[in-house]
Amino acid sequence: MSPSLGRINGKIDPELHKEVKHYAIETNQSVIGIIEIALREYLKNHSIK
């Protein structure tokens, strides 16, 4: 997931939103929960050292 969390010019990317929503339903998680996990992974992989 990009650091913009699917936003292009301040608007949510509808394809990415649909994909995340579908994944959320499949895994019985909230969209916010998925974004939180993705952000945590992103920060872990791009930490400032």
CB atoms within 10 A of CB 3: 10
> Domain for residue 15, yes or no?
yes
Give ∠ CA 12-1-40 in degrees, rounded to 5: 115
Is the pTM of the predicted complex or chain greater than 0.75? no
Is the per-residue pLDDT at 43 higher than 50?
yes
Rounded CA gap, 19 and 11, in Å?
Answer: 16
Domain annotation covers residue 11 = yes
| Residue numbers of the domain that contains 15 | 7-45
Confidence of residue 6 (pLDDT cuts 50, 70, 90): low
State the helix-helix crossing angle for 14-27 and 31-45, rounded to 10 degrees: 110
What are the tens digits of pLDDT across the range 13-32? Answer: 788 888 888 888 888 888 88
Residue-level pLDDT at 4: 52
Per-residue pLDDT at 10: 66
Number of domains in the chain: 1
